[in-house]
Amino acid sequence: MADKAYITPNVLKWARESASMSKEIAAAKASVTVDKLQEWEDGTSQPTIKQAQFLAKAYKRPFALFFLPEIPRDFQPLQDFRKKDAKDLTTSSIFIIREIQQKQAWISNVYAENGEASLPFVGRFSMKDNPKIVAQDILKTLNINPPNYKSDAPIKEWINAAEKNGIFVSRTSFIHSRLKLDADEIQGFAISDRYAPFVFVNSADWNAPQLFTLVHEIAHIWIAATGISNAMELEINNGEKFQPIELFCNEVAANALMPENFILNLHANISQNAKDVFSMAKTLGVSSYALLVRLKHLKLISISAYQQLKKEADFAYQDYLHRELEKKVRQKDKQGGPDYFLLQLNRNSRLFTQTVLDAFRGGYIEPTVASSLLNVQVNKFQKLEAQLYR
């Protein structure tokens, strides 16, 4: 007879509920009926050790946690700055938030204990300040000058600049192959911290909206506003469904990515046809829609011109996406799927990965800790590290 796991019933139930997982899905993970799972959560019977281990893995909790005498103190939920009609966070979103919170807490404690200097830009401004001034400070601090990018991948330049200045940037679109992140549910979030601020970007979307999300979340760091977002796009009409802090960070992102002086110098040329709009948006690393809204906010085009150009730009953008998708399919056929270690590197953040690997190589942390922080087995660290220098 298999050994029983004498778990604490209410802790088991809490672990499932905190993962936002239904009884039906949880029961399937342990290959039992819903009634049997209910017995375990009620304490009228116990799972086997193997069954409890399956649930620990499914809930992304340490197996030992089930044996605690009472419900542990968990990470505090991030403030929700999403639209008022946003759907509830599902398991995927909860897991990625918890994962980044754990990484952020670890690195912040390490930096604080080592006497690292705090970052002066965290909370340097507030919502009372002018978004244009905040944007200028971000550009100056990160040493970025749109649209004078050094490559055709502005988002990579922004990520490198952010991490060079101590902001950890994580990007992924999934927990695993069967648990993907919904861009309509969560596009990004920021954890403001004076030692180790962390920014997360859902990479399920294309680079243009990802870049806007990234800069939007960086704006959250500049005003020390930790929270979740799902509506990083400029709007013609702000509407009541948007949180004021989101509108503010959108304005900061717009000013940073599409500087007013630059827009004023070129609007005469791009306000005539959609091709110019699309071309300039691509140069700036933003969507045609974001650029058109920026033009409208600056009163450089009329609402009728905006509507017509938006319709035309949408066709041009969809054509571009179609061509890019075909290109990716051809590349996948030639090269196979994306490299697992590159995906993990982006998910962990390059800066975080390097920091953990340095601590591991220096003997400052145990192999099991390093492996847990990086989601990679210790014997695969060399392959992960190789991605840092590509």
What pLDDT shows up at residue 271?
56
Over residues 374-384, mean pLDDT: 94
User: Could you report the per-residue pLDDT of 214-254, keeping only the tens digit for each?
Assistant: 999 999 999 999 999 986 666 655 556 678 999 999 999 99
Residues 6+ positions from 130 with CB-CB distance below 8 Å: none
What pLDDT shows up at residue 124?
98
Q: Where are the domains of the chain?
A: 9-67, 75-256, 340-388
Higher-confidence residue: 263 or 85? 263
Phi-psi region of 335 (alpha: psi -120 to 50; beta: other; left: phi over 0): alpha
Of all residues in the chain, the percent with pLDDT exceeding 70 is: 92
Q: Which CATH architecture has domain 9-67?
A: Orthogonal Bundle (1.10)
The reported pTM is 0.87
Report the range of poorest mean pLDDT among 97-101, 111-115, 232-236, 263-267.
232-236
What pLDDT shows up at residue 355?
96
1 pLDDT more than 70: no
312 pLDDT more than 60: yes
User: Could you report the per-residue pLDDT of 206-215, keeping only the tens digit for each?
Assistant: 888 999 999 9
What confidence category does residue 332 fall into, taking pLDDT thresholds of 50, 70 and 90? low
What pLDDT shows up at residue 306?
87
What pLDDT shows up at residue 325?
72
- 301/145 Cα distance (integer angstroms): 25
DSSP string, 292-321: HHHHHHTTSS-HHHHHHHHHHHHHHHHHHH
